[in-house]
Structure formats: C-alpha cells, structure tokens
Amino acid sequence: MHIDIITVLPELLESPFQHSILKRAQQKGLLKVEVHDLRAYGLGRHQQVDDYPYGGGAGMVMMVEPIARCMEELQARRTYDELIYLTPDGQTLDQPMANALSLQQNLLLLCGHYKGVDERVREHYITREISIGDYVLSGGELAAAVLVDAIGRLLPGVLGDETSALFDSFQDRLLAPPVYTRPEEFRGWKVPEVLLSGNFARIEAWRNEQAERRTRERRPDLLEEEE
C-alpha cells in the first residue's frame, strides 16, 4: 500500500511512522508513506498557502491553487483509490472503515489546517472526508497519523500474529475482553481460573461473555447499532 500525505507541517509526521508497527511495515515493503510539504507548491516568493476568507471572519483558509498543484502532480504519478480530507465534519472513523481502506492500494490524505480548506478543493478533488472524533485539533496531521496507523496494522504480514488484528476491539462490534499475563497472582489479585484451565472451549466462551459484558457496560451503543 502507498499513502501520500499533504501537510503544511511535515515535521509533525516525522515520528509516528518511524517506530513500532508502522516502521516494520515499511521495512517489510508492505507500506510506503510519503509526506509532502504543501509550501513547496505555495505561491510567490513567500510560498503562500493560505489567505483571508471571503466575506470576512477570523482565521485563515488554505488556498485552492497550491493544493490543486500538489494533488495534480501526485495524481500524475499514480491513480488513487481515495483522496481523503481529514476534517472534524467528516465521517467518523471506525473499524469497518479502517478495514475497507486497508484493502486499497493508493491513498492520498490532505491535512486540514487553519480554518480549513477552500471549499472548491472539497468539491472537485476530495472523494472522502474523515474525522477521528467529535472534537477539533490544531490540524489534520495527528488525525492522518491515527488513520494511517489504523489502516497499516491491518495489512497482511504487518503484525507478528496474523490473527491478532481479527480480535481487536470493534472488529465484531464488541470491545476486547480482559487479558492477563504472568504472574498468576500479584498482591492477592488472581488470574481467572478459567484462563489457566487449558480448556480452550471454556476460555473462548468466557472471553465472548466478558467482551459482551464490557461492551454493554461501556459502549451499549455498539450493541444497539447491531440490533
């Protein structure tokens, strides 16, 4: 999979992709992430990428021309399955969306900043708009990092245990059950006996029961959506 990211602050994205699972994914050649500085496509001597909004009001707006120049140059190199704008008013990212995007080959992400982008970018270039939650960040860079992480870990061969991602929270609209490791007892706090039984049918039933219980307690909305 190839993911291109357009941003006015490329430095914010240096660390997230150079460690842990995403680093290994790139080293294995399963994922390639390229970050593009929008200012390289800015206008004039000062490489301007933003301007005051028509009609007045506070804040600045990302200009259409630099974004168009950058996107069209990248589109000349490869065909994208989705051109994604990270914005608070986009569709909320969830596990089914991450699953679907992980099946694509080429994605282009545009990080919003300031008061957002000129609406013509959204009308004529963007194919999908995504939010990572009902709150506002200073820019779309962190949201882009979250999206890439959610997608990248699902690529076949990225995780050490091929089945690991299948049992993550939200994969079956249930939160993950409790997990334990050694020691069996710590300060009088014991691991549930069923997990030590070696009876895998009982263990699986216990995990399913705990997952449903935790979901009902913490995220009943997930069960309501299923119904």
Which residues partner with 62 through β-bridges? 50, 117
- For the entire predicted model, the pTM comes to 0.89
Q: Are residues 72 and 176 in the same domain?
A: no
Q: Are residues 212 and 126 in the same domain?
A: no
Last-in-domain residue among 152, 183, 198: 152
Q: Which residue has the tokens 């790139």?
A: 26
Domain range for 35:
2-152
Closest CA to 37 of 65, 64, 4: 4
Last-in-domain residue among 118, 152, 186: 152
The answer to the question of residue 191 being in a domain is yes
Q: Are residues 17 and 122 in the same domain?
A: yes
The answer to the question of residue 58 being in a domain is yes
Q: Which residue has the tokens 């609209």?
A: 173
Q: Tell me the DSSP string of 11-79.
A: GGGTTTTSSHHHHHHHHTTS-EEEEEEGGGG-BTTTTB-EEPPTT--SS-EE-HHHHHHHHHHHHHH--
The answer to the question of residue 83 being in a domain is yes
Closest CA to 18 of 33, 2, 38, 37: 33
Q: In this predicted model, what pLDDT tens digit does every residue of 59-93 receive, in sequence order?
A: 999 999 999 999 999 999 999 999 999 999 999 99
Pairwise CA distance, residues 79 & 191, whole Å: 51
Torsion sign (Cα): 177, 200, 198, 166: negative
Q: Are residues 144 and 190 in the same domain?
A: no
Last-in-domain residue among 93, 124, 152: 152
> H-helix or E-strand containing 144?
helix 141-152
The answer to the question of residue 158 being in a domain is no
Q: Are residues 39 and 143 in the same domain?
A: yes
The answer to the question of residue 23 being in a domain is yes
Q: Are residues 145 and 183 in the same domain?
A: no
Single-letter amino acid, residue 26: Q
Per-residue pLDDT of the chain (227 residues; tens, 9 = 90+): 999 999 999 999 999 999 999 999 999 999 999 999 999 999 999 999 999 999 999 999 999 999 999 999 999 999 999 999 999 999 999 999 999 999 999 999 999 988 999 999 999 999 999 999 999 999 999 999 999 999 999 999 998 765 556 556 567 789 989 999 999 999 999 999 999 999 999 999 999 999 999 999 999 999 987 55
Q: Are residues 176 and 130 in the same domain?
A: no
